[in-house]
Amino acid sequence: MHIAEILPTAEVSRGSGLPRQLARRERNLDDLPVTTGSGKQMTLSAVLDRTYTDGFLVICNGAVAYERYFNGMAPRMLHLSQSVAKSVVGAVFGILSTRGEVDPTRLVTDYLPELSGTGWSGATLQHVLDMTSGVTFSEEYTDPHSDIGQVDVASGWKPVPSGADPAFRWPQNMWDLILGLRKTERPHGAAFKYRSIETDVLAFAMERVTGKRLPQLVSEELWQKIGAEENASFTVDGTGFALADGGFNASLRDYGRFGLAVLEGNVVPFSWVEATRRGSHGPGYSKLLPQGAYRNQFWIEDAETRNLLCRGVFGQMIYISRATDMVVVKVSSWPDFQSIPYERDALDAIHAIERALA
């Protein structure tokens, strides 16, 4: 909620148009019973409290059904989305792809020839979208020297760790980091493995094709068109590159408007959304979603519902269900990077809300 006071950011303008008005048919769901995966009985308000919620929004049949703020957050405040940003970037790619401006079947090096000496040589943009490239990249959040730890330094989020080897060459920016990833651990397309850096490669390709920086692209292709109420922002590195994999900030309701754009398939093309919902990587590849999938920078809950999820560490989530015509947004401040129990409780609460509002 205070990112702009800590890090340099670039504005994602909402433009000068009127915001999309959200109808309100509110229900008091505070005491809604929720049965968690462990069998524990809780109320919705207790689940939100237990999972360190800062803001929670339910939009059902196009109208706000429930909206709550905690921990000093307010409707106009921006909240860091962490890896929910990946889905925002993927949606903009889908818009450009549907217009024929970029082709996911082409090689990454067709758009970024400088990467011919990296692990992305031979990978397609679809591999990057689905995180099935074979690039070696360690996503160990608690290790400051891992590849994702180096992202923190390259993006300007954190300084070089104290006690680091003085002979180690830390990346100066995100492009520098990408150029240094030269190894592969499996053939491209062989398997899914979550790698945040894939989204940054995607963003560089989009910037190269359009000649526009990512904040401008998200503004023009998405934020202005969904009728956002507030300007959003990205954190930027020392070269001005927006951190595509996790640096996006927006208000709770505007995250809801983004979810509606995906649900309705208008701003984000319906054909792209349907292709996204057809991902097939399961079973057993995700602890939270054992029957799930990952496609086009979105998670898929399971093969039956094909509900889409945008997920970020520290408890960020957008849940998009076409079957129940529902979008749910949860922004949080967990004390730890990841918690499957907290995410599971959140999904159990969302399913309870779906049953109550059906």
Catalytic residues: 83
In a 13 Å sphere around the CA of 274, the CA atoms on its Cβ side amount to: 6
SS (H, E, C) the chain: CCHHHCCCEEEECCCCCCCCCCEECCCCCCCCEEECCCCCEEEHHHHHHHCCEEEEEEEECCEEEEEEECCCCCCCCCEECCCHHHHHHHHHHHHHHHCCCCCCCCEHHHHCHHHHHCCCCCCEHHHHHHCCCCECCCCCCCCCCCHHHHHHHHCCCCCCCCCCCCCCCCCCCHHHHHHCCCCECCCCCCCCCCCCHHHHHHHHHHHHHHCCCHHHHHHHHHHCCCCCCCCEEEEECCCCCECCCCCEEECHHHHHHHHHHHHHCCCCCHHHHHHHHCCCCCCCCCCCCCCCEEECCEEECCCCCCCEEEEECCCEEEEEECCCCEEEEEEECCCCCCCHHHHHHHHHHHHHHHHHHC
